[in-house]
Amino acid sequence: MSTVPPPYGPPPPPPPEEPPGYQPFDSYYRPQQVPQQPQRRTGRNGLLGGLVAALLTILAYGKYAILLIPKLGAFGTLITMLVSFGAYAIFFGPWFAAGLVLMILVHEMGHVVEIRRQGMAATAPLFIPFLGAAVFMRQNSRNALQQAQVAIAGPLAGTAGATAAFVLYGQTHWLPLLVWAHLGFFINLFNLIPLGMLDGGWIMAVVSKWFQLIGLAALLLSLLFLPVSPIILLVILLGLPVLFARFRGDDAEYYRSVPPQARLAMGGAWLFLVAFLAFATFQSQELLTRLVG
């Protein structure tokens, strides 16, 4: 994995070995690279071990997709969407897979639209099975507020998409729409956890460094009360370097240049989204439970 970039520290001049165009969103929107570990023989081949091995393989070889995907554009998005759809459909069925891919696409397109609105270049999303999707950005944000605006655009678009699915379910009573709505609410709520390279980490970076610790505590508590998830473990491990960098760079102009009013507005928007999505996730789950048992 590359060294931790801004916005969790002042954006330093790129060292000579970094490729041209390196910028902070590289480490968030592209697949993270994890060094391959020596293989060990074991007699246990549980589902968790298999998922972890698959995730590490995807991450280790993600660099090849990184080099190729900017040249593929919309065609790359279509191909990776189909691959993700097939992977999800094998485990969860086609209707579930279709809704999950659609909700991820809507979320990622929110990032793309905001990046381009700010006058910067962004590629089409690249889907990564069981990890979500990635968007490439070729310029640095000038300050933490711009980065936060790009980050919050994803959950805003995703929340709108999930809400639209929920409203359509109310009109048609077609069960897949309710499932899609629930998926959208949950995905965007999870992304608002203020840790590391999740959207919430970028958004709340402009408010206070202490939100990184709050996000870390929330995920650690989830490991105590919920089944262990490889995704949560990866988020924690990849988020720790970003957390340390955010504390080291707290006095940087990158953060200090954000006006207090903008900090309050971004924090208020995050709080509103969290409250709405938590309520919507709970309500859609309750409705699904009553309908399907």
Question: Which of residues 41 and 95 earns the better pLDDT score?
Answer: 95
Residue 145 has pLDDT above 60, yes or no: yes
Most confident stretch, 14-23, 123-132, 179-188: 179-188
SS3 category, 135: coil
Four-CA torsion 156, 243, 239, 13, nearest 10 degrees? 90
Pairing mode of beta strands 126-128, 132-134: antiparallel
More confident call, 171 vs 19? 171
Give the containing element (helix H, strand E) for 132.
strand 132-134
As a 3-state breakdown, the chain gives helix, strand, coil percent values, each rounded to 5, of 65, 5, 30
* Average pLDDT score over residue span 135-152: 89
**SS3 state at 192:** coil
With a cut of 60, say whether residue 184 has pLDDT above it.
Answer: yes
pLDDT of residue 72: 58
Beta bridge partners of 178: none
Q: What is the mean pLDDT of residues 55-62?
A: 51
Expressed in angstroms, the distance from the first to the final Cα of the chain is 43
| pLDDT exceeds 90 at position 40 | no
Structure tokens at 272: 């509103």
Residue 244 has pLDDT above 60, yes or no: yes
If pLDDT is split at 50, 70 and 90, which confidence band does 274 have?
very high
Q: What is the pLDDT of residue 77?
A: 83
Q: Which helix (DSSP H) or strand (DSSP E) does residue 126 occupy?
A: strand 126-128
Tell me: pLDDT of 33 over 50.
no
Q: What is the structure's pLDDT at 84?
A: 94
Mean pLDDT across 90-104: 95
Q: Could you tell me the pLDDT band of residue 276, with boundaries at 50, 70 and 90?
A: very high
The average confidence (pLDDT) of the chain is 81
Angle at 269 between CA 147 and CA 279, to 5 degrees: 125
Q: Which two tokens stand for residue 239?
A: 């988020």
**pLDDT at residue 151, as a whole number:** 95
**Structure tokens that stand for 148 in this block:** 């936060």
pLDDT digits (tens, 9 = 90+) for 112-122: 999 999 999 88
Q: In this model, does residue 50 exceed pLDDT 50?
A: yes
Average pLDDT over residues 239-249: 92
**152 with 101: CB under 8 angstroms?**
no
For residue 229, what pLDDT is reported?
A: 84
What is the structure's pLDDT at 60?
52
CA 158 to chain centre: 11
Amino acid residing at 75: F
